[in-house]
Amino acid sequence: GQNIDQPTEMTATEGAIVQINCTYQTSGFNGLFWYQQHAGEAPTFLSYNVLDGLEEKGHFSSFLSRSKGYSYLLLKELQMKDSASYLCAVRDGDYKLSFGAGTTVTVRA
Amino acid sequence: KAGVTQTPRYLIKTRGQQVTLSCSPISGHRSVSWYQQTPGQGLQFLFEYFSETQRNKGNFPGRFSGRQFSNSRSEMNVSTLELGDSALYLCASSETTSGEFVFYNEQFFGPGTRLTVL
């Protein structure tokens, strides 16, 4: 089966930077997604990486290393509204999308 | 455009019963996926449909089934409910390009159906 690992929880201070790591072992690879999910709400899309390197989208950046089976999501200048769960998801060789358990980020004033 | 809608939003059933959940994707989206979300297991993939065909299936027992209609609306059915089926069931749709399935498009999630099995 697919194996996607990410830390369970992270805490950071408002204005800081937080990096959420995701490692994966899948049968084939067709891209990695990051989603944000606030408590009681549906997940919303943040980023998609299929090639190695860094994708910058202002407040969020996402990095991928296919050879290492590794990605990270970087949240810059943290705001209280960034407190949420961040989900890493991978499309495998059969295009099946598998999600990690999610990382709960708590932003403190 | 209206978002993904799911009905019902909340459902209470007893063990042994069966349930049908409905999902209407965003207009024009032909790809629909279903997920089960629980605190312990996170988001688990159930099925993915495109143009009325099941493209992929997750590792769930045969009690879980689904289908997609010609208007892209989808339903999933769970028969012989068990206590462990209590969860939030999320549906997501994604855009297609030139009528073809596109694996890299973002998924838009509905609000979910909260199923409680007693």
Mutation test of the interface with chain B: which of A9, A41, A45, A88, choosing the one with the most B Cβ atoms within 10 A? A45
Q: Which residues of A touch B111 (CB under 8 A)?
A: 41-42
Phi, psi (5° rounding) for residue A17? -115, 140
A105, β-bridge pairs: A10, A84
Smallest Cα–Cα separation from B10: which of B78, B111, B82, B84?
B111
Query: Contact A42/B103, CB-based, under 8 Å?
Result: no
Most confident of A28-32, B6-10, B37-41: B6-10
pLDDT tens digits for B58-108? 999 999 999 999 999 999 999 999 999 999 999 999 987 666 667 778 899
Q: What pLDDT sits at residue A57?
A: 87
Number of CB atoms found within 10 A of residue A78's CB: 19
A16-71, pLDDT tens digit by residue?
999 999 999 999 999 999 999 999 899 999 999 999 999 998 899 999 999 999 99
Instruction: Quote helix, strand, coil % in chain B, to nearest 5.
Output: 5, 55, 45
Q: What are phi and psi of B85, to 5 degrees?
A: -85, -5
Interface touch A87/B111, C-beta < 8 Å: no
Interface touch B45/A100, C-beta < 8 Å: no
CA-nearest of A51, A54, A62, A52 to A88 is: A62
Per residue in A63-107, pLDDT tens?
999 999 999 999 999 999 999 999 999 998 888 889 999 999 999
Amino acid at A4: I
A51 close contact with B: CB closer than 8 A: no
Interface of B with A in 20-79 (CB under 8 A): 33, 35, 41-45, 48, 55-56, 58-59
